[in-house]
Structure 1
């Protein structure tokens, strides 16, 4: 195999770091030299980065190295492209001078201009999609010039519902990534970014898209987009939880938040399948009213629960401390190793925002989901979880206020934690997809083969 050197470039948000670092680890173990790159300011926040032969780290300036400049995200994106592209080219030149020429650029969601840099200097590139193939199929449908997509030449929001994609359920307003909607605060900069991604791929003579999914999970969605160089290479999950080849690979390798160390003993004291795990991700801020409804729903269900609530202020930490062990049922922690928790025998279900990483992780662990989506592609993910894969249920919000009430949470818990026919069917489904994921990443499995095909395409 050709001696490759990949630059894999990512934003320093936990949900972006986890899959990109895991891809870098997987490639390094396959003999590819990888350099994980982020901004100078972002790099300063990273700790406990994995130390693996062939895996290196670097940073480039985005013009805001100390993180103090205040600007809206649209202005930041323009600056990132202008300053970042020049500094990325300098980094590539430096590696060439050091005898380690770069052979491929891999980039994630807010870096569409990396494809332009690659074309300019005659390097292959690949877009690493860290959302689902279904979400990507929606973006392709809406932004493609070839398909005369709604957003192919405008930021004006003029969607009509339902959206129909071949062989998928009809998609309504509550089923698509939220930034595609008029009232979403992220639409003004995310619509241009996604259009740039799709149109860059359409301008490329040999486009490559790596997706953190596996064939048997999203077969129909992958078929929709199969003409644009798709490689499903997931789940991008630490090896110890999947193929077991690298037993020491038990974490993604970089937590941006401080973990509690007490939850494992607490989980050990609980019965198998008895604990409700609750976590709403690393980005969304959950309303206080919603927190209260979740708390009361959990307490009234009389099921033990482990709940991750990110704490940034001392008052928040004190408040969370007061809730620890409330009625002897619950434990609240500021952060945890989610894979470690989901694979614990005591976990019975996962109340989740349904970010794509969490959705995949719960599937790999064989844990059913209760979806409480907050933003972005989470609405699409729970649509697939409930209506296509049958691996969980969606908690319905009240029309006024958009809150999941305690009664609704208790209803969902009753389904997933009870012995009824629907709960049993969901548990069978999630275990089926867990086994299919394990098959996909084995030597000779679809994801293993697709990664090799991608390398051979370069």
Structure 2
């Protein structure tokens, strides 16, 4: 049997590249050859000196192949360019690969790149969405864009005392929401892009598969809240904490929206201190450590789900 070939396309940012590489290594462990693709400028900055059997690299154009200085390109303009240039360069790459005898069994695409699935469909290649955040975060977006919870979220944002209820999740307050919902948000393109992800998934002829980071009971309940999607828990591959939390303690921003050093110091002292709160946080950290080990070991939940995903690709 020919070796399975997966093309893994990720957004050119560290918080996307790292979990994608971890996922690639997991797939390689099951005998899959993975072609890791990101924007040319990001790929050129990566350390690729240590070779990994079963892993190769490719790049797409985001319109800034030589890179750019942070702050010189508007995020909205960048997203337009990455879609326009990326779609064409991905299309060219897949066509060239086919001509050279490589037919990908699946294209896995990451957050902020819904257009990848559309290109894959042009070549009749199955596309799978890799959500590199917890399922509970995806749940909030899902109910916002698909289930009419916009008013619930709007009320929660306008009044910090309002508690919001989402199926499969505990009550949330304003600070528990993904920060893209909170103004001022410099990345205005993020929410429309997340909405586009759901639109692309809904175009699938069968229930689409979404790979998510999930290991505990809360995440399992959040996954049950989805209809018509096949959510597959493949965590723990990443640690992607909210920018407004630190070790179980919520940090407070100043009036400019920044977290000052003294605030970080306060949180660290609370976490590392000998008080009851610090002991509780460290106990929870140990619990997560054990859950991670259980999920990742052979026949753990992550291992079983990844094996099932690979087996499905070979059919």
Q: Give TM-score, length-normalised by structure 2.
A: 0.86
* Secondary structure class of the residue paired with 1:438: helix
Instruction: State which of 280, 286, 289 in structure 2 corresponds to 1:431.
Output: 286
Q: Where do 5+ consecutive residues of structure 1 fail to align?
A: 152-156, 238-355, 360-376, 386-390
Q: Is the counterpart of residue 83 in structure 1 residue 85 in structure 2?
A: yes
Counterpart for residue 160 of structure 2 = none
Note closer, same or farther for the CA distance 1:89–1:430 as it changes in structure 2 (3 Å cut).
same
Partner of 2:200: 200
Report how far residue 137 of structure 1 moved: 0.8
Residues 215 and 232, structure 1, Cα contact 8 Å, conserved in 2: no
Say whether the 8 Å CA contact 2:213–2:236 is kept in structure 1: yes
CA deviation string 1:152-185 (max 9, x = no partner):
xxxxx98221431124232222221121233211
2:53 is matched with: 53
- Which residue does 2:34 correspond to in 1? 34
Aligned equivalents of 1:178 and 1:214: distance in 2? 23
Do the aligned residues in 2 keep the contact of 1:19 with 1:212 (CA within 8 Å)?
Answer: no
Structure 1's 443 and 96: CA in aligned 2 closer, same or farther, altered over 3 A? same
Q: State the shift of 1:138 in Å.
A: 0.7
CA apart distance, 1:394: 1.7
Is the contact between residue 216 and residue 291 of structure 2 (CA under 8 Å) also seen in structure 1? no
Q: Distance in 2 between matches of 1:220 and 1:171?
A: 15
1:402–1:44 CA distance, 2 compared to 1 (3 A): closer
**Distance verdict in 2 for CA 1:158–1:165, change over 3 Å:** closer
Where in structure 2 are the equivalents of 1:136-147 lying within 5 Å?
Answer: 136-144=138-146, 147=147
Distance 1:440 1:71, change over 3 A: same
Aligned match of 2:251 in 383, 395, 416?
Answer: 395
Kept in 2: contact 1:11–1:42 (CA 8 A): no
- Give the secondary-structure state (helix, strand or coil) at the position aligned to 2:45: coil
> Are residues 1:120 and 2:122 paired?
yes
Query: Quick one: distance in 1 between partners of 2:266 and 2:65?
Result: 48
- Partner Cα distance (1:456, 1:40) in 2: 31
Number of the residue aligned with 1:43? 43
Segment drifting more, 33-42 vs 158-167: 158-167
2:14 corresponds in structure 1 to: 14
Question: What pairs up with 1:81-160 in 2 under 5 angstroms?
Answer: 81-144=83-146, 147-148=147-148, 150=150, 159-160=154-155
* 1:113-147 deviation per Cα after TM superposition (whole angstroms, max 9, x unaligned): 11111222211111111122111111111112xx2
CA–CA separation in structure 1 for the residues paired with 2:130 and 2:223:
14
Aligned length: 304
Equivalences for 1:166-315 in 2 at 5 Å?
166-187=167-188, 189-204=189-204, 205-216=206-217, 218-225=219-226, 227-236=228-237
Indicate how the Cα distance of structure 1 residues 75 and 421 shifts in structure 2: closer, same or farther if over 3 A, else same.
Answer: closer
Query: What are the Cα deviations for residues 399-434 of structure 1, in whole angstroms up to 9, with x where unaligned?
Result: x45565677656544432233333222222211121
Give the drift of 1:215: 4.1
CA distance in 1, matches of 2:267, 2:191: 34
Report Cα offsets for 1:244-281 as digits up to 9, x if no partner: xxxxxxxxxxxxxxxxxxxxxxxxxxxxxxxxxxxxxx
Contact 1:143-1:199 at 8 Å conserved across structures: no
Q: 1:64 matched to which residue of 2? A: 64
- Aligned in 2, Cα 1:221/1:50: closer, same or farther, shift over 3 Å? farther
CA shift for structure 1 position 445: 0.5
State the alpha-carbon separation in 2 of the partners of residues 452 and 142 from structure 1: 32
Match of 1:421 in 2: 276
Pair 1:443–1:404, CA change in 2 (3 A): same
User: Could you say if the C-alpha distance between residues 226 and 236 of structure 1 is closer, same or farther in structure 2, counting changes exceeding 3 Å?
Assistant: farther
Q: C-alpha distance in 2, partners of 1:424/1:103?
A: 48
CA distance in structure 2 between the partners assigned to 1:408 and 1:61 by the alignment: 40
Matched residue, 1:326? none
Please tell me whether residue 378 in structure 1 is matched to residue 243 in structure 2: yes
**Structural mapping, 1:352-363, within 5 Å:** 356-357=239-240, 359=241
Q: Does the CA contact (< 8 Å) of 1:134 and 1:218 recur in 2?
A: yes
SS of 1:130's equivalent? strand
